[in-house]
Structure 1
Amino acid sequence: MRKMIRVFIAALIIVALMPCKHVNAASKLADSLNDKKIVHACGGFNGIRHANCEESLVEAIESGKKVIEIDFMFTSDDVLICEHGFLGYGKQVLSYDEFLRRKPMEEGTAMTAQRAISLLKNTDVKLIVDTQDTKLVKVYKELRKICKKENAEKYFKNIIPQIYYEGQYKEMEAFYKFPEYIFEAYRITGSPKKGGHADFKYFQKVCKRHKKIKYVAFYSKFVTKKAVKMFEKYNVGVIAHPVNTKSDFKRLKKMGVKAVMTDFL
């Protein structure tokens, strides 16, 4: 009997000393990604991408979409609006009044972040935040203020933040303990059309260091089945973008991506 006990204790010690495989905790966003589609920039409008307009957001909500990405940035007078960038307007930054006047009609009704939250606050839609603003935390601070103004403080918990560089992880954690993050890789990889390159091993190491990163988003042309498997070892899902054809969507699903960002599917 004593021999059996000694053998059992020895076995427990061996198991305890075995190196543990790092596995990130499960994502809370996963339940909202059953159809593997994330609405990109509120969805296309009049055949145009990056619309970020009221009409496309209302349509996405009414059609039952569960995950919507919106681009946010500040105007020169510090109003947080739904917009991808001002380069198309011929200058770097517009005032709020200029933005209202100059947004092309083909892209729908110009929308503030406050209007977007007012439309989303009574839904269970997960909101993925994208921003070109260099002051990342400032955007999320303003979104939290807006949620408070709109009596939608609970909705702030539906926000899924994206980081673009590893250093931003600690900045965001110092502001608010988000349950999970997406590492949006495009600023590091560059565009495949311009000779960009995805160093999957680097992003894998970042995910290993920061357990709350549950997804990594790459340009679809960078995504391979091998890369998807690499991240699966750490319970990190791959998101591909932009994906606007059924054939590309089907191909990427077969590779095992957790979701695609799409304007029109």
Structure 2
Amino acid sequence: MTKLLTRDTDNNGITTLTLNEPDQRNSLSMAMLDALSEALTDIATDDTTRVVVLGAAGNVFCAGHNLKEIRDQLDSYEFQLALFDKCSKVMQQVVNLPKPVIARVAGVATAAGCQLVASCDLAVAADSARFATPGVNIGLFCSTPMVALSRNVSRKHAMEMLLTGEMISAARAEQIGLINRVVDESMLDETVYTMARTIAGKSGHTLKIGKGAFYQQLEMPLAEAYDYTAQIMADNLQADDAREGICAFLEKRKPEWTDS
């Protein structure tokens, strides 16, 4: 049996997770979600991982939930609730992971696959990639994908995708803020891993603080967000890496991070 999810970590601390079920369009079956959850749980405390790249084998990034699996469980409300709850928790694991996550998108990302892209901190796509939340076309509104989508793009752009179910190009996805960059497919890996290496060269402790604070402050009123981030910055300054970084900058040398 093909391993659903492969994992590889290079010498730069970049861990690549690859959805590896192309014959199933890399769908988020319960088994795939379990594999992702297990990997993310392990990576959260893995000191060798500094950045995660999330990609997929084949010509489809992820087609969302496995509709055959859902069809076979149409009479089981318990399974349906468990599936969507598991998916929601995996998306939150991506957001809450104390390491940056970059989506490497080649091919199509639809429904929960689009949700997965939106849940990543950064996303780079090949110019041939396409995106959609097409649940409305089959009578199943993309309600859980809507959560991640609406936190990445404006309300009207999100509603257009959700209400029409139409596919959008990578260029359009970049325009509305769903992804960061569109590149020629031949340049996808170079672009993704250059970005990953740049981030991996920063203080891991600082990245953890910053990523956590970013998502926390988004949900706060303005004054509360400033109070919260002022405290975060003061706390950050107590870290060894902050002190090393400031001294290195003033002394015009490269900092030596200890991730503490």
Q: What TM-score bracket applies, with the shorter chain setting the length?
A: 0.3 to 0.5
Higher Rg? 1
TM-score w.r.t. length of structure 1: 0.32
TM-score (normalised: structure 2): 0.32
Which of 1 and 2 has higher RCO (CA within 8 Å, sep 6+)?
Answer: 1
